[in-house]
Structure 1
């Protein structure tokens, strides 16, 4: 980020040049945008000044999953959204990302995700964990049939942890029912419940 520039910094990690250029056009008016066309290049660009990483999963050489692991090893407060053509599977439950977008991604969806991730730096640990887990729950609901989710033990544990965090949050801040954070989580849950219902219906063949 240039000296005196108060814009947040977004690092776009994507091996398709056309998508890099597209995302830069969408983001450059509001953010300082860095780009990397692979995992190794991403880690070279990554530093304390990076606020959000938009990270592809499937790339030649170092995968997005490996980049994510390295970012978390560095104990950065940076927020990471996976932006990928890979449909989420149950392995995402243990991954350290903050949001998950499945390509193709629309301009509004990308910009809203970046804005949402930046706003999360204002919340405490309970709220941030709840948001991250709700994002994973929503991604899985949007890609898996309801029956498969109900039979999966990891998904049940994810739901139990979300319920536990919501109880902790209600206890700590009982009057925050209309808080923007809670509203955002509810939006994620309701949007992807609709997607999950559609997905489940489509699998009845």
Structure 2
């Protein structure tokens, strides 16, 4: 879903309580996507429905946190891709969170548009590849914001690594069972 006509049908829910920042992000995103912007967690829960393709959530929101909005989205069972866009430096608590990606503010226009484009692309992947993408994002995020000693001491980081290693084994086995023409077809369709 990368051509302009397809992108314009992608619906993005932007949840940002700082109004000037929300206006800026909205102006960037509306160049390519249909955007609904809300400014608190309760409004986000009210605005979210099955038509939302991508949700961009701040973690610190009035009324209800972005973390709770994320839980609501995941509990809905809809295949929405979710990224946290927050000034909150990620900690090991992200292990159990169901987001697909995470940007730490401040973010540039290119970063924000690239994030949404990547999430749209990932939405076409099967569940295993989507899970791989989300785990890779969490691992990279922690590796960027934590020291080697902090990573080594973290049970959550060790669990993430183990989950990623298991998923890598599963994907390698699945690819090993595919013919070269099957792999080529998957890559052409991606």
* TM-score normalised to structure 1 length: 0.81
Aligned-pair CA distance for 1:38: 0.3
Residue 95 of structure 2 corresponds to residue 93 of structure 1: yes
How many Å separate the matches in 2 of 1:110 and 1:127? Answer: 22
Is the partner of 1:173 in helix, strand or coil? helix
How many Å separate the matches in 1 of 2:159 and 2:45? Answer: 32
How many Å separate the matches in 1 of 2:69 and 2:158? Answer: 28
Residue 49 of structure 2 corresponds to residue 19 of structure 1: no
Question: Residue 109 of structure 2 corresponds to which residue in structure 1?
Answer: 107
Residue 144 of structure 2 corresponds to residue 142 of structure 1: yes
1:47-99 CA distances to partner (integer Å, 9 max, x unpaired)?
11110011000012211011111111111110110000000001001001110
Question: Residue 191 of structure 1 corresponds to which residue in structure 2?
Answer: none
Question: Residue 201 of structure 1 corresponds to which residue in structure 2?
Answer: none
- From 41, 65, 68, the equivalent of 1:66 is 68
Question: Residue 154 of structure 2 corresponds to which residue in structure 1?
Answer: 152
Question: Residue 37 of structure 1 corresponds to which residue in structure 2?
Answer: 39
How many Å separate the matches in 1 of 2:78 and 2:8? Answer: 19
Aligned-pair CA distance for 1:124: 1.0
Q: Is the 8 A contact 2:8 2:32 kept in 1?
A: no
Question: Residue 4 of structure 2 corresponds to which residue in structure 1?
Answer: none
- From 121, 124, 136, the equivalent of 1:122 is 124
Aligned-pair CA distance for 1:45: 1.1
Is the partner of 1:33 in helix, strand or coil? strand
Aligned-pair CA distance for 1:123: 1.1
Aligned-pair CA distance for 1:125: 1.2
Q: Is the 8 A contact 2:15 2:57 kept in 1?
A: yes
**Equivalent residue pairs, number:** 175
Aligned-pair CA distance for 1:6: 5.3
Is the partner of 1:132 in helix, strand or coil? helix
How many Å separate the matches in 1 of 2:157 and 2:115? Answer: 23
1:145-165 CA distances to partner (integer Å, 9 max, x unpaired)?
011101112111110111111
Is the partner of 2:56 in helix, strand or coil? strand
Is the partner of 1:80 in helix, strand or coil? strand
